């Protein structure tokens, strides 16, 4: 089915684009969520007529989404689940579970905002993105553990590891800068040395020429 997008859809296109999608995706998601219109002459004319209005509505939705993103910035939630000794969960953590945890923490989002391609099946610390708008995303730290104590320990280890990686990355960057400056200095030295040799050769040639004339 061909549809006219009423907003930017990731991996599909921008607002106003006419794209071809699977019938089920259009009927079950795009059309009922008012994210697209069936592509036909009447709807194309309607879209062009209402384009400015639709763009204004999208801009308003984006502003609201930015507000939602700021509200959950730096948010960390804990989900306690039973798991085996190896850390494999007896029941997967779904996008619905993440949504419920965020709501329980006192923040307001919609279930559809949670971006989770597949359920979480092991204990651990995960970075889950919340997308209240196609152009707005915010990261939430989701810790899945067998107890509150284990969750707190895992979070501490996670951030300690992140800090170490950041320090190593900064150190590598500084080393690269120093190396680049060293290479540049070495290159300049070689050029000066080469230039000096050239001047010496020219001076000798000039002396030989003068001697010959005499």
Q: Is the pLDDT of residue 214 over 50?
A: no
What whole-number distance in Å separates Cα of residue 98 and Cα of residue 76? 11
What whole-number distance in Å separates Cα of residue 7 and Cα of residue 86? 44
**What is the CA 174 to chain-centroid distance, rounded?**
24
Interval 111-120: pLDDT, tens:
999 999 999 9
What whole-number distance in Å separates Cα of residue 72 and Cα of residue 107? 7
Query: What confidence tier does 165 reach under pLDDT thresholds 50, 70, 90?
Result: confident
User: Do residues 16 and 47 make contact, with C-beta atoms less than 8 angstroms apart?
Assistant: yes
pLDDT at 121: 96
Interval 166-200: pLDDT, tens:
676 666 666 555 555 556 555 666 666 655 555 55
Q: Is the pLDDT of residue 201 over 60?
A: no
Interval 41-89: pLDDT, tens:
999 999 999 999 999 999 999 999 999 999 999 999 999 999 999 999 9
Q: Which of residues 19 and 208 earns the better pLDDT score?
A: 19
Tell me the two tokens of residue 43.
């709807």
pLDDT at 5: 96
| CATH of region 2-70, choose from 3.40.50.300, 3.40.50.1950, 3.40.5.10, 3.20.20.100 | 3.40.5.10
pLDDT at 179: 56
pLDDT at 4: 96
Residues of the chain with pLDDT > 90, as a percent, come to 70
What whole-number distance in Å separates Cα of residue 201 and Cα of residue 48? 76
pLDDT at 170: 66
pLDDT at 49: 95
Domains in the chain: boundaries: 2-70, 76-146, 149-214
pLDDT at 213: 46
Residue 204's CB is within 10 A of a number of other CB atoms, namely: 10
pLDDT at 163: 77
Q: Is the pLDDT of residue 146 over 50?
A: yes
Instruction: Give this prediction's pTM.
Output: 0.69
Say whether domain 76-146 belongs to CATH 3.10.430.100.
Answer: yes
What whole-number distance in Å separates Cα of residue 31 and Cα of residue 25? 9
Q: Across all residues in the chain, what is the average pLDDT?
A: 85
Range name among 15-29, 40-54, 90-104, 195-209 with the lowest pLDDT average: 195-209
- E-only strand ranges, the chain: 2-5, 18-20, 36-38, 76-80, 88-93, 114-115, 120-122, 124-133, 136-145
Containing H/E element for 169?
helix 148-213
């Amino acid at each position: 089915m061909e549809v006219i997008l009423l907003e930017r859809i990731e991996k599909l296109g921008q607002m106003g684009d006419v794209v071809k999608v699977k019938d089920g995706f259009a009927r079950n998601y795009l059309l009922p969520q008012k994210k697209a219109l069936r592509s036909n002459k009447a709807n194309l004319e309607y879209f062009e007529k209402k384009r400015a209005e639709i763009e204004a509505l999208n801009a308003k939705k984006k502003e609201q989404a930015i507000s939602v993103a700021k509200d959950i910035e730096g948010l960390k939630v804990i989900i306690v689940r039973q798991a085996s000794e190896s850390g494999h969960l007896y029941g997967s953590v779904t996008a619905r579970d993440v949504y419920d945890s965020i709501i329980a923490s006192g923040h307001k989002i919609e279930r559809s905002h949670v971006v989770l391609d597949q359920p979480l099946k092991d204990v651990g610390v995960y970075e889950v993105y919340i997308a209240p708008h196609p152009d707005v995303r915010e990261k939430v730290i989701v810790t899945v553990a067998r107890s509150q104590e284990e969750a707190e320990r895992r979070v501490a280890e996670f951030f300690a590891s992140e800090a170490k990686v950041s320090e190593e990355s900064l150190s590598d960057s500084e080393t690269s800068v120093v190396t680049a400056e060293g290479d540049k200095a070495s290159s300049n030295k070689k050029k000066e040395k080469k230039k000096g040799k050239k001047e010496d050769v020219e001076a000798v040639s000039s002396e030989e020429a003068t001697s010959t004339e005499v």
